Amino acid sequence: MRRRESLSAFVALGVSALAARRASAAPLDDALADVAKARASLVTLQGPFVQERTLSLLASKVKSTGKMWMVRKDNRLRWELEPPDAAIYWVLPDALAYQTKQGKGRIDKNSPGAGPLGGVLGDLLVLLGGDLATLKARYDLTLVKRDATGLVLHAVPNDKAIAKNTQRIELSLGKDLAQLERVVLVEKGNDKSEITFGVLTKNQAVDPKLVAGPT
């Protein structure tokens, strides 16, 4: 009789734990679904940003300004830093590309040379205008906050290549749930890059030459 009661208690405990996991996942899944719905009509996105990089070892900060252009259906992104940085990065359908004062080049996304940078840069398209639920393949997602002002998500990489250099990505979305207002990339060693977006324009035509990559 005692063995039967113990087995029943064990089964009940397992069911309760499963229910608790499902309950905790529900707010996250609801939030991701709402973001996907809010972004369903998004075609292009463009506008300014401020990027502040903190180097923990040197206790210093470097601030840069720039502008980004994203064409969602073509999976293209141009990330341009203004002088004195004067650097441009592209996320293309099959490659990552760059152009700096020192030169320019392209790296195939599937190439070992792309490394963890390829994963994080490629995910910028998703962070800015894609379906955040697709990040689950490479990150453990946590809903940190959701209220009338928007929501905050943390993404901790479970992909080993990305996790070598990235501790987590912190995302803050506005009340319309479509626009990313702020993203923080926390690296190993606690160096971090904090990117704050200005007013971004949605669904305005983007010159194809801007997102074509270096020539």
**Could you give the number of structural domains in the chain?**
1
Could you give the 3-state DSSP secondary structure of residue 145?
A: strand
Q: What is the mean pLDDT of residues 145-173?
A: 94
Q: What is the mean pLDDT of residues 111-129?
A: 71
Q: Given this model, what pLDDT does residue 161 score?
A: 83
Q: What's the pLDDT tens digit per position in 186-207?
A: 998 889 999 999 999 999 999 9
Q: Given this model, what pLDDT does residue 3 score?
A: 53
> Does the pLDDT value for residue 8 go beyond 70?
no
pLDDT band for position 17 (cuts 50, 70, 90): very low
Share of residues in the chain with pLDDT > 90 (%): 65
- The pLDDT mean for the chain works out to 86
Supply the range of the domain harboring residue 23: 2-211
* Choice among 29-33, 44-48, 183-187 with the minimum mean pLDDT: 183-187
Q: Given this model, what pLDDT does residue 1 score?
A: 56
pTM of the entire predicted model = 0.81
> Does the pLDDT value for residue 182 go beyond 70?
yes
Q: Which of 138, 123, 154, 153 is nearest to 35 (CA)?
A: 153
> Does the pLDDT value for residue 19 go beyond 50?
no
pLDDT band for position 130 (cuts 50, 70, 90): very high
Q: What is the dihedral of CA 78, 53, 163, 122, to 10 degrees?
A: 0
CATH code: domain of residue 38: 2.50.20.10
From the CB of residue 104, how many other CB atoms can be counted at a distance below 10 Å? 13
Q: Given this model, what pLDDT does residue 110 score?
A: 65
Q: Given this model, what pLDDT does residue 12 score?
A: 55
Q: What is the mean pLDDT of residues 91-111?
A: 87
